[in-house]
């Protein structure tokens, strides 16, 4: 009789547990707590899903982390226009130049290079670090052919919000030329061709 009683207790306990589990599972499922919306969400490029939204790693954007931010900044042909807005040598203020550059992928998902500044092949590999989906910092640069006469000391810029038509910003340069040694602040506009 004791064995029969123990069997009833075990069966009753199992039924109670199953009933409680079903109620808990159903109530959580009804409130969306089973996976917080991540059961159908696929996050690309090592993004992670939390509460139905992807958290993207540095360098990627979009609802599913499928957009490489650097792609907004990269194009093989831009029309570049620049004007000197400040200089330690007043003769340079207002000087302008127009030329063609290209931008290309950097070594990381958050960088790119600018090539052929001032139509000079030695003024290439100018590293830019992407600081947000629309902004970037221009890093220090010296050309390999004659680093004592031209240096980019830094700068910053932004790409239009669609990331396809225009970049604007400014950079700071050090120059030694026929007018002497001067430091300039240069505003630039790159238009996508």
Tens digit of each residue's pLDDT (9 = 90 or more) over 182-191: 999 999 999 9
Which letter, b or e, does each residue of 104-140 get, where b requires 16 or more Cβ atoms within 10 Å of its Cβ? Answer: eebeebbbbbbbbbeeeeebbebbbebeeebebebee
Beta bridge mates, 172? 154, 185
64: DSSP letter: T
Are the C-beta atoms of residues 190 and 166 closer than 8 Å to each other?
yes
Tell me the average pLDDT of the chain: 84
DSSP characters for 71-128?
Answer: GGG-EEEEEEEEEEEEESSGGGTT-EEEEEEEEEE-SSTTEEEEE-GGG-TTS--EEE
* Residue 43 confidence (pLDDT) above 70: yes
CATH 2.40.128 at 69-192, yes or no: yes
Q: Over the stretch 48-90, which tens digit does the pLDDT of each residue have? A: 999 999 999 888 888 999 888 888 888 889 999 999 999 999 9
The most confident of 1-5, 53-57, 159-163, 186-190, by mean pLDDT: 186-190
* Residue 34 confidence (pLDDT) above 50: no
> What local confidence, expressed as pLDDT, does residue 69 receive?
84
> What local confidence, expressed as pLDDT, does residue 26 receive?
43
Domain ranges of the chain: 2-67, 69-192
* Residue 111 confidence (pLDDT) above 90: yes
19: DSSP letter: H
> What local confidence, expressed as pLDDT, does residue 24 receive?
42
> What local confidence, expressed as pLDDT, does residue 121 receive?
92
> What local confidence, expressed as pLDDT, does residue 17 receive?
52
Residue of 108 and 140 predicted with greater confidence = 140
| Burial (Cβ within 10 Å: 0-12, 13-18, ≥19) of residue 19 | exposed
> What local confidence, expressed as pLDDT, does residue 30 receive?
42
pLDDT, average across residues 95-104: 96
* Residue 163 confidence (pLDDT) above 90: no
Q: How far apart are CA 138 and CA 101, in angstroms?
A: 15
pLDDT, average across residues 97-115: 94
Q: How far apart are CA 73 and CA 119, in angstroms?
A: 19
Q: Quickly state the pLDDT bin for 36 (edges 50, 70, 90).
A: low
């Amino acid at each position: 009789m004791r064995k029969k009683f123990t069997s009833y207790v075990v069966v009753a306990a199992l039924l109670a547990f199953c009933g409680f589990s079903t109620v808990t599972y159903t109530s959580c499922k009804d409130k969306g707590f089973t996976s917080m919306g991540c059961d159908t969400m696929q996050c690309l490029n090592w993004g992670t899903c939390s509460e139905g939204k992807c958290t993207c790693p540095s360098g990627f954007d979009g609802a599913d982390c499928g957009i490489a931010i650097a792609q907004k900044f990269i194009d093989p042909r831009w029309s570049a226009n620049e004007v000197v807005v400040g200089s330690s040598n007043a003769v340079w203020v207002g000087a302008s130049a127009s030329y063609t550059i290209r931008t290309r992928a950097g070594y990381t998902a958050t960088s790119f290079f600018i090539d052929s500044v001032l139509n000079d092949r030695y003024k290439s590999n100018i590293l830019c670090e992407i600081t947000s989906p629309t902004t970037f910092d221009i890093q220090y640069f010296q050309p390999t052919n004659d680093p004592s006469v031209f240096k980019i000391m830094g700068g910053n810029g932004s790409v239009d919000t669609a990331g396809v038509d225009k970049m604007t910003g400014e950079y700071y340069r050090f120059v030694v030329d026929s007018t002497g040694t001067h430091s300039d602040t240069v505003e630039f506009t790159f238009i996508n061709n």
